[in-house]
Amino acid sequence: MWLFVANTLRYDMRDFANQQNEQIMVYSLLSNLFPTRQLQNPPKRIVFIRPCCIGDVVMATAALSALRELYPEAHITWAVGTWSAQAVTHHPAIDAILDTGDTDLPVRSVGGVWQFVCQLRAGQYDLAVSLVRSPLMSLAVLLSGIPYRAGLDSLGRGFGYNIRVPIDPARSEHESLIYLKVISALAGRPIHAYANILVLESARESLHNKLSTDELTTPYIVVHPGGGSNPGMQMDSKRYPIDQLARIVNPIASEMSAKVIVIGGANDKERVVGLMDLLDHDAVGLFGSLTFTEIGALAEAGLLYIGNDTGLTHLASASGAKTVMMMGPTDPKRYAPFTDNHLVLWKPTDLQTGGVASADTSTWDWSRDGFTVDYAIEKIRDFIR
């Protein structure tokens, strides 16, 4: 069995060497070994697998809600990484969290595959729903012995699932819609839901303990100038230039008669302080001091949230905030917030097929390739009217 695992690991690592033809052949052979089947009865115990990262996890809440609607009596466990779990632990559609650890994917090694297989076996699930494209994940789910295994099948990588949902990685399609296809396959009909995050009353209370009453009762907009860094990827090119961002925020805050709350992670201090130095308005700077649930509460109560293409912007939008996402080297058709109250700022440009994981952003230049300040101000004005 472990020779089988090792060979699969070898092919997965060779993704980066563009050995797709050889991989497709191997995965097709494996798919033929494991036939598909149809779910006969409503499952009692479900494991929902989307470990990383914050943006992907938030986008997966649409499929999670659809799954709960489809199986209202089932016990649903979300297999999610330690970092991302903070955003969804209290989601009303789940009953339990299976912590997959600190890495972006728990099956990056032979030991990781075996550990995750043991976790899955211990749960005694009768249905696995995997929103992961990795062949190592489909292998782990196969080895878990879960009788029904629904998941994404990108170029044959889903050989370990017996309810396979074929997807074309070259097709520009929203991640949430792709995830929902798995639930639709289980339902036997198209099914839809929006991304959603529950704003906890406890988060509102803890937020009030960290900020003054005046800071929270005076009308404000939230701006997040950082992001682009998580356990799965480092992509600084997603960050809109600070000086241009200030030229957008200043007139918008004036027109909304709002102060500005600038937020960021512990590593975003330089960008938070840098933006505040360029603002003409009363501003509050917070970096590394808020939890994900508190950020959701802060965004929900604000007049507007402005952020880059990051997990926090997805979180804000799914928490109910009126949200502006600034996008550059990533495709809004794939990665815009999956809500009904957002605006994407983006200058149409040629992007590589295959999604953000295959993107080469080494030559990206916001001044040359990105949207202008005047364009952003005009679009935001229309959005907030």
Give the pLDDT confidence of 53-82 residue by residue, as tens digits. 999 999 999 999 999 999 999 999 999 999
The reported pLDDT for the residue numbered 16 is 44
Span 281-313, pLDDT tens digits:
889 999 989 999 999 999 999 999 999 999 999
* Percent of residues, the chain, with pLDDT higher than 90: 77
Residue 140 scores a pLDDT above 50: yes
- Mean pLDDT, range 318-341, rounded to an integer: 96
**pLDDT higher than threshold 50 for residue 150:** yes
Q: If pLDDT is split at 50, 70 and 90, which confidence band does 359 have?
A: low
**Which one, of 258, 221, 264, 225, lies nearest residue 241 by Cα?**
225
Task: Report the pLDDT value the prediction gives residue 271, as an integer from 0 to 100.
Answer: 95
Tens of pLDDT, residues 332-344: 999 999 999 999 9
Q: How far is CA 225 from CA 26, 121, 309, 361, in A?
A: 44, 42, 10, 18
What's residue 357's pLDDT? Answer: 55
Q: What is the pLDDT of residue 363?
A: 83
Q: What residue type is assigned to position 178 of the chain?
A: I
Q: Which pLDDT score is estimated for 14?
A: 47
The answer on pLDDT for 249 being more than 50 is yes
Catalogue all structural domains in the chain, each as residue range(s) with its CATH number: 2-187 (3.40.50.2000), 201-384 (3.40.50.2000)
Nearest to 79 by CA among 111, 101, 112, 56: 101
What are the pLDDT digits (tens) for 83-130?
Answer: 999 999 999 999 999 999 999 899 999 999 999 999 999 999 999 999
Closest alpha carbon to 169 in 360, 346, 334 = 334
φ/ψ region of 155 (left if φ > 0, alpha if ψ in -120 to 50, else beta) reads left
233-234/229-230 β-pairing: antiparallel
How much is the pLDDT for 17? 45
Q: What is the pLDDT of residue 221?
A: 97
Residue percentage of the chain with pLDDT more than 70: 90
Strand spans (E) along the chain? 45-49, 75-80, 96-99, 127-130, 148-154, 163-167, 220-224, 229-230, 233-234, 259-264, 283-287, 304-308, 323-326, 342-345
Mean pLDDT, rounded, for 320-337: 96
The model's pLDDT over 160-195, given as tens digits with 9 standing for 90+, comes to: 999 999 999 989 999 999 999 999 999 999 999 999
Instruction: Kindly report each contact of residues 267-274 with a partner whose C-beta sits within 8 Å and lies 24 or more positions away, as own/partner.
Output: 267/226, 267/229, 268/224, 268/225, 268/226, 268/227, 271/225, 271/226, 271/239, 271/242, 272/225, 272/226, 274/225, 274/242
What's the mean pLDDT in 137-154? Answer: 97
- Please check the confidence at residue 320 and state whether its pLDDT lies above 80: yes
Chain centroid, CA 264 distance in Å: 17
Question: What are the two backbone dihedrals, phi and then psi, of residue 49, each rounded to the nearest 5 degrees?
Answer: -110, 110
Q: Would the CA dihedral through 316, 320, 323, 325 be positive or negative?
A: positive
Residue of 46, 44, 3 lying closest to 163 (CA atoms): 46
Residue 315 has what pLDDT? 98
Non-local (6+) Cβ contacts of 237 within 8 A are 228, 328, 329, 361, 364
Q: Give the mean pLDDT of 125-141.
A: 97
Residue type at position 340 = D
**Phi and psi dihedrals of 339, rounded to 5?**
-140, 180
The more confident residue out of 5 and 212 is 212
